[in-house]
C-alpha cells in the first residue's frame, strides 16, 4: 500500500552517502502506486524528485519537496527471430538486468556491466561504456505522464538520444516517470572488444574467442580495478562527462599536448578522456578534507567519510577550473546537482 513518509533521511538512497533529508518520501512498486500518488493532495503541492538507485545525484542541501523512489521490478522476454525483446521494470538494478541477459545468452548489454543505477534511469542518461551506449540496444520505454496520469510508450526516434542525453533530460524533463524499458537484444552476439582494456584483459585470461559472459566478466574486472564500491566508499561513478570537441578545438589541444588521450566520434568530432585530463592536472588520488578523487580513477569523486554535498561540489569546481586552465577545455558534470 502506498505510503507518503515525512522528514526522511536520504543517506541510504544516494550512492554518495550524503546525509540530507526529504520533506516527503514515497517508494513506488507499480504503475498503480504512481497513479495513487498523483491523486494525493501532498503530491499536488510539492516539487518532485524521482530517483532510482540514487547513483547519479549529489545533494548539497535538504530536499524541500517529495522524493519518489522507483522500485518497480520484473523482467520478461519475447523472441523475435534471432532477436529478443527484453522488458524490465524501471526499479530493476541495472547490473542485475545485465546479468539476467548474459545468463540467458541475450547479447548487447554485456559491455555495460557494473554500471551503477537502475533500468529506469538508463534511457534518461543514455548510459554508455566500453564502446556501447544504451541507444544501441533500446527498443522503447513506458512512461507515466505526470500531467494526465496516463502511460505513454516512447520509441527510439522519440527519445532524441545524444551523448549522455535524451528527451527526458531536455524538453520533457520533469514531465514523465519511466516505468519500464524494452531492449532489442540478440541470440547471435556481435562481440565488441575494441574499446578500452577489454582485449588486454581477455588476452590475460587466455581467451581468444570470447562469449558475452567473457566480455561481461572482463568489463566487470576492469571496472572493479578502477572504480570504488559505493557500499564501502560514497561515490556516483564517473562525475564528469568525457568532453566532445570539434576538430579545430582538438588541433589546438593536441598542438600543446601531443599525447592527449582521444577517440573519434560518429559525428566526426573528438572525444577526450576526462579522467586523463584530470590526472594530468595532478588531481588523481588527491584528498581535500572528507572528499577527493579516487586513487585508481581521477574521473570519480568520492566521499571519504562525512563530506557534505557542498564540499564535493566545491572540489569539483576546482577540478573544472584546473582543466580549463591547462587544456582550454571545460568539463561538464555528469552527476545531477541538487
204 DSSP 8-state letter:
H
Strand partners, 192: none
- Annotated active-site residue 220? The verdict is no
Q: In the prediction, which pLDDT does 137 show? A: 96
Q: What is the pLDDT of residue 316?
A: 96
Q: Each residue of 19-60: pLDDT tens digit?
A: 999 999 999 999 999 999 999 988 988 999 999 988 889 999
303-322 exposure pattern, b = at least 16 Cβ within 10 A, e = fewer: beeebbbebbbebbeebbeb
Beta bridge partners of 143: 152, 178
Q: Of 31, 110, 201, 334, which residue is the catalytic one?
A: 334
The predicted structure's pLDDT at residue 323: 95
Find all residues with CB under 8 Å of 148, minimum gap 6, and list them.
none
Helix axes 94-103, 212-226, angle to 10 degrees: 150
CB 336, CB 56: distance < 8 Å: yes
The secondary structure element, H or E, covering residue 39 is none
Please report the pLDDT score of residue 264 as a whole number.
85
Which of the residues in the chain have pLDDT under 50? none
Residue 258, classified by CB atoms within 10 Å of its CB into exposed (0-12), middle (13-18) or buried (19+), is: exposed
CB-based contact 186:192 (threshold 8 Å): no
- Tell me what pLDDT residue 293 has: 95
Active site annotation includes 205: no
Q: Which one from 113, 216, 238, 316 is the annotated catalytic residue?
A: 238
The pTM of the full predicted model, rounded to 2 decimals, is: 0.85
Annotated catalytic residue, options 164, 223, 316, 333? 164
Q: How distant is the alpha carbon of residue 258 from its chain centre? A: 31
> Please, which residues have CB within 8 angstroms of residue 140's CB and are 6 or more apart in sequence?
153, 154, 155, 156, 181, 182
**Chain segment 267-292, per-residue pLDDT in tens:** 888 999 999 999 999 999 999 999 99
325 noted as active-site residue:
no
What is the DSSP annotation of 220-286? HHHHHHHS--TTTSEEEEE-BPPPEE-HHHHHHHHHH-TT--EEE-TTS-EEE-HHHHHHHTT-TT-
Amino acid at each position: 500500500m502506498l505510503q507518503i513518509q515525512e522528514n526522511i533521511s536520504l543517506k541510504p538512497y544516494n550512492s554518495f552517502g550524503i546525509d540530507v533529508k526529504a520533506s516527503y518520501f514515497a517508494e513506488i512498486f507499480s504503475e498503480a502506486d504512481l497513479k495513487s500518488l498523483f491523486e494525493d493532495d501532498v503530491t499536488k503541492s510539492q516539487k518532485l524528485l524521482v530517483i532510482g538507485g540514487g547513483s547519479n545525484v549529489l545533494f548539497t542541501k535538504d530536499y524541500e519537496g517529495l522524493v519518489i523512489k522507483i522500485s518497480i521490478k520484473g523482467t520478461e522476454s519475447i523472441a523475435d527471430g534471432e532477436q529478443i525483446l527484453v522488458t524490465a521494470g524501471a526499479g530493476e538494478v541495472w547490473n542485475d538486468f545485465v546479468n539476467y541477459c548474459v545468463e540467458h545468452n541475450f547479447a548487447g548489454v554485456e559491455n555495460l556491466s557494473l554500471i551503477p543505477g537502475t533500468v529506469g534511469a538508463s534511457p534518461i542518461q543514455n548510459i554508455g561504456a566500453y564502446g556501447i551506449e544504451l541507444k544501441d540496444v533500446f527498443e522503447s520505454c513506458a512512461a507515466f505522464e505526470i500531467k494526465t496520469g496516463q502511460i505513454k510508450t516512447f520509441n527510439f526516434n522519440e527519445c532524441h538520444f545524444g551523448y549522455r542525453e535524451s528527451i527526458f533530460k531536455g524538453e520533457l524533463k520533469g514531465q514523465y516517470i519511466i516505468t519500464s524499458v524494452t531492449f532489442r537484444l540478440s541470440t547471435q552476439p556481435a562481440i565488441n572488444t575494441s574499446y578500452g582494456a577489454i582485449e588486454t584483459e581477455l588476452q590475460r585470461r587466455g581467451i581468444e574467442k570470447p562469449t558475452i559472459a567473457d566480455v561481461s566478466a572482463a568489463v566487470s574486472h576492469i571496472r572493479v580495478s578502477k572504480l570504488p564500491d559505493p557500499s564501502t566508499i560514497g561515490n556516483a561513478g564517473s562525475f564528469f562527462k568525457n568532453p566532445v570537441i570539434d576538430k579545430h578545438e582538438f588541433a589546438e589541444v593536441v598542438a600543446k599536448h601531443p599525447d592527449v588521450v582521444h577517440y573519434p566520434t560518429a559525428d566526426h568530432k573528438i572525444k577526450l578522456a576526462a579522467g586523463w585530463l584530470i590526472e594530468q592536472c595532478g588531481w588523481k588520488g588527491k584528498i581535500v578534507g572528507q572528499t577527493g578523487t579516487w586513487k585508481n580513477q581521477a574521473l570519480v569523486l568520492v566521499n571519504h567519510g562525512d563530506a557534505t554535498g557542498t564540499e564535493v561540489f566545491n572540489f569539483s569546481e576546482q577540478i573544472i577550473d584546473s582543466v580549463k586552465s591547462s587544456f582550454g577545455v571545460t568539463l561538464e558534470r555528469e552527476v545531477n546537482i541538487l
